[in-house]
Structure 1
Amino acid sequence: MPDEALVQAFRQSGPRREGAFEVLVTRHAPRIHRLAASMVGPSAADDVVQDVFIAVHGGLNTFRAEAAFSTWLHRIALNACMRALKARQNVPLESVAEPAAPHNLALSGENTDLRERLARAMHTLPPDQREALALRELSGLDYAEIADITGAELGTVKSRINRARAALRALLTKTGVTP
């Protein structure tokens, strides 16, 4: 079922209402979690995702569908990330990283180290570049969708992503990671 049909099903009373919302959450939560983790860090991502879907649940009845549901959802997610970042402005970056559960201890250690380096590097980017790059690389959105979500011109979005990639490449190379 497409998102638009699920939104319509949610707006109707009855047993399908919460089922439609559950499908929307199941479909979009992984991408929203990846976006949140890149913006606020893995330790705060779950809280942000919860805030996002609480807001979505409360706002679906008034969603005007002037944009795609995923565009609206990502805008809510970015706003929630910005609120979370403002709430913890004085938290040092070292407390943000959270190790993954190990499957293969050696490989897990390498992946955790790489994730931590990438998270630190992402957090050094200006917020507009970090936002655009996260929407592109972690949420898989195309440039036009990112422009709609951020309110920036298409050329500006492309420029932000290009600058963010170059900055990440330089930062990671300095720390011994070959991009």
Structure 2
Amino acid sequence: MNDLTDTQLILLAASQDAAFEVLLRRHAPRIHALASSVVGPGSADDVVQEVFLSVHKHLKTFRGDAQFSTWLHRVALNACYALLRKRQPDALDGVPEPVSTASPVRDSENLQLRETLSWAMRQLPHDQREAVALRELSGLDYAAIAEIVGAEVGTVKSRIARGRAALRALLLTRGVEAGA
């Protein structure tokens, strides 16, 4: 089943759980990265679970007007924003994901860098954070991002450029240099 396209898997998923599992394995890493950037690493697992439960429940309503991955990313963003609306303002920091390397010092450095990057992403305006996360973490092209966020491609490019510049400045204020 791994050779099948998303469209083929969607058709099979109504009657075969294995088809849905392939869709889940195929898209979960990018959805997790997106959720981590929006709600923080500590809540990303919950969001991913919520997204795939919702997708499984509503898969038969997917009309195919857009690519499945585009629809999935929109569902993920909606789940992230629903979680953020429920949170208290002081509860925005999630528990960081464990990092596994052979060196405790390296683990600590990686953890600090992830926390700092997560903090910096949360400082961006909503539209920039969304566009940067979809581009850098989900690897989507500008046209797909434009479709997801409902903006023109040029607007998406501007948001990404402004977001990257703001991230660079924020990270420099925290002592993170390019290439770190």
TM-score range, shorter chain: over 0.9
Is 1:144 the counterpart of 2:143 in the alignment?
A: yes
Is 1:59 the counterpart of 2:58 in the alignment?
A: yes
Aligned to 1:4: 7
Aligned to 1:38: 37
- 8 Å CA contact 1:6, 1:21 repeated in 2: yes
Distance in 1 separating the partners of 2:62 and 2:97 = 37
For residues 120-147 of structure 1, give each alpha carbon's deviation from its aligned partner in whole angstroms, at most 9, with x where no partner exists.
1110001111010000000000000000
Which stretches in structure 1 are left out of the alignment for 5+ residues? none
Which stretches in structure 2 are left out of the alignment for 5+ residues? none
Distance in 1 separating the partners of 2:51 and 2:90 = 22
Equivalent pairs counted in the alignment come to: 174
Structure 1 length as normaliser, TM-score? 0.93
For residues 1-179 of structure 1, the aligned pairs below 5 Å read 1-11=4-14, 13=15, 17-93=16-92, 95-103=93-101, 104-179=103-178
Distance in 1 separating the partners of 2:158 and 2:99 = 36
Identity of aligned residues (%): 59
Distance in 2 separating the partners of 1:140 and 1:37 = 14
Structure 2 length as normaliser, TM-score? 0.93
Q: Give SS of 1:91's match.
A: helix
Distance in 2 separating the partners of 1:92 and 1:51 = 19
Distance in 1 separating the partners of 2:147 and 2:97 = 34
- 8 Å CA contact 2:35, 2:44 repeated in 1: yes
Distance in 2 separating the partners of 1:71 and 1:128 = 17
- 8 Å CA contact 1:97, 1:116 repeated in 2: no
Q: What is the CA distance between 1:100 and its match in structure 2?
A: 1.8
